[in-house]
Amino acid sequence: MNAAKILVVDDELSIRTLVRRTLEQEGHRVETAENGEKALRLFESFVPELVVLDVMLPDIKGYELCRRLRSQSNVYILMLTACDEESDKIQGFTQGADDYLTKPFSVKELAFRVSAILKRQRTVGGTGGVVLRYPHIQLDPVRREVHIGRDPVDLTALEFDLLYLLARDPGRVWRRGDLIREVWGYSYVGDERVVDVHIGQIRKKLGNDAADEPLFVKTVRGVGYKFEDIGAQESQFAS
């Protein structure tokens, strides 16, 4: 696996040390911060590809820091939490987190989750330059950009991955579990409603989250989701 720059944010020295050692053994370049303010400074100077972020910090709550990082970047965010409640995880996802790891965790699982996130980035970005062009929307996997007409749509990295997967096979109905395996890169242990949370966020950003007739991402009751743009053209290669 290619080395990545990873920022670890946790107020516990033992956790920072464990995570840093594990990720450096995987070949990554790692910086650490014990609070939110230092994390924000390091984020600007270090420019990480992935942030491992604890929910409980002494100055800025992890959810708020996640939101702030997400507002300025599409960096991948893996949150650490001592709470296993689904409501807490969903709160993190709505702020832009890509994945969750519950404390205590094994170093093996940590390395696996990080690998899955970075692999997802390479897989979606390495599609040979295939731009998906439809009558009302265009998705560019190399630039990781979405446009409705001439208007750009600001999606998180995970939201882009999810929408691109749906859009590259229009009309196909995807079950939630299949979407998780394809986008997250493994079987997510927990409530599959995390998919619904991300779909809801995508719909809002695409300009129509109406439950009865949302744009582009349609609900297939009792099954899952599909992409649809009336009169859709076939995908074309970018020149």
Contact 97, 157 (CB under 8 A): no
Instruction: Give the C-alpha separation, 216 to 203, whole Å.
Output: 8
32 with 135, same domain: the answer is no
- Residue among 52, 67, 38 at smallest CA distance from 4: 52
Q: In this structure, what CATH number is given to the domain that contains residue 172?
A: 1.10.10.10
109 with 151, same domain: the answer is no
pTM, full prediction: 0.74
Instruction: Give the C-alpha separation, 156 to 151, whole Å.
Output: 16
88 with 101, same domain: the answer is yes
Domain that holds residue 99: 5-124
Query: How many domains is the chain built from?
Result: 2
pLDDT of 122: 56
Q: DSSP secondary-structure letter at 60? A: S
Mean pLDDT of 29-38: 97
Domain boundary among 64, 95, 124: 124
Location of structure tokens 């992409």: 227
Q: What is the edge-to-edge ordering of all strands in the sheet holding 5-9?
A: 29-33, 5-9, 50-54, 76-81, 99-102
Q: Does pLDDT of 188 surpass 80?
A: no
Domain boundary among 98, 124, 150: 124
117 with 11, same domain: the answer is yes
174 with 105, same domain: the answer is no
Q: Where is mean pLDDT largest: 66-75, 109-118, 170-179, 189-198?
A: 170-179
Instruction: Give the C-alpha separation, 217 to 215, whole Å.
Output: 6
Q: Does pLDDT of 234 surpass 50?
A: no
Contact 192, 180 (CB under 8 A): yes
Mean pLDDT of 198-220: 81
Q: Which pair of structure tokens corresponds to residue 35?
A: 């609070």
